[in-house]
Amino acid sequence: MDILKLYNDHAIPFVTEGKNYSSGWLNTNCPFCNDTSGHLGFKLDEGYFHCWKCGHHFPDQTIAKLLNITETEARILLKQYNSSFSISDVEPVKEIRVKSHKLPSGTMPLQANHKTYLEKRNFDPDFLEQEWRLLGTGPISKLDELDFKHRLIIPIIWDRKQVSFTARDITDKHKLKYLTCPKDRELIFHKSIIYGKQEYWKKAGICVEGPTDVWKMGRNSFCTFGIKYTQMQVRKMADLFRRIVVMFDNEPQAQSQADKLVAELRFRGVDAKRIECPANDPGSMKQEEADYLAKQLIK
């Protein structure tokens, strides 16, 4: 299981050194015993959880506790991170089969609550609805066993065809801010491509973290669906662009990942550089500021 990616993608704090850390373990606070000293360890080479205070815990139960989601949602999430954990003594998971691509139940045009969410973040909801085909969900929305209620539905388009989607929580209460189409329903794995207006890209592009950053930075930008990019995405970027400016959020971890991406792009012959965002993240910029910056970056 790629526990590092799971922890990083979902902002689970962890340590790799300290008084409660042993070599080969990844530690965080245990949600089962109100721990505040990083006693919950994940054995990297064997793939199991163990708290030094309260003992062994099943992966699905642990992730459910850490993210405040159901155990069913945790099992599906673990599958997305290529987990092969044992679930003996818990409810069995059905065999995964390839399914048709579809949106969650209850998907509808943007409603007042979706538009209010976007307006508070300095977006024009009517423009986004037309430009990016945004949709929304209400209080009841499911796809397979995942709950997609109260989210923006963001179609992922590749070669002019919808191949997947991601969904942004509009309540800011769910620990999973983004919830992506189950992998067995994706026509193309979303982390093998990049998000943006493919038909408008030229030789210079702006690489940002997420869809909201792309909306703000415009048609010459694209995102990697988070700071944990894949080698498939790096190859795609190198094939499509000759010059790339990487502008991730201003957090240290994001900036470190941006530096790594720049190095990999340069290795592949791309003229790449990292810049810091004038705001905390591109999506929080005023539109006129983002438009001006985008023009300067792709000169």
pLDDT tens across 116-165, in order? 999 999 999 999 999 999 999 999 999 988 999 999 999 999 999 999 99
Q: Which of the listed residues 190, 212, 244 is the one where a domain comes to its end?
A: 190
Structure confidence at residue 24 (pLDDT): 76
Q: Which of the listed residues 172, 190, 208 is the one where a domain comes to its end?
A: 190
Asked if pLDDT for residue 168 goes beyond 90, the answer is yes
Domain-embedded: residue 76: yes
The verdict on pTM exceeding 0.85 is no
Domain-embedded: residue 7: yes
Burial class of residue 6, CB neighbours in 10 A (0-12, 13-18, 19+): buried
Whether 152 and 225 share a structural domain: no
What the block records as the tokens of 25 is 């373990």
Whether 278 and 200 share a structural domain: yes
Percent of the chain's residues with pLDDT above 90: 55
Domain-embedded: residue 94: no
Number of structural domains the chain divides into: 3
Q: Are 114 and 125 in contact (CB under 8 A)?
A: yes
Which domain does 16 fall in, by range? 3-80
Whether 293 and 200 share a structural domain: yes
Length of the chain: 299
Better pLDDT: 64 or 222: 222
What are the pLDDT digits (tens) for 80-124?
876 444 333 333 333 344 689 999 999 999 999 999 999 999 999
Domain-embedded: residue 107: no
Q: Which of the listed residues 190, 211, 227 is the one where a domain comes to its end?
A: 190
What are the pLDDT digits (tens) for 222-258?
999 999 899 999 999 999 999 999 999 988 889 999 9
What gap in Å lies between CA 35 and CA 40, rounded to an integer?
A: 8
Structure confidence at residue 49 (pLDDT): 83
Domain-embedded: residue 141: yes
**What CATH number is associated with residue 131?**
3.90.980.10
Better pLDDT: 221 or 23: 221
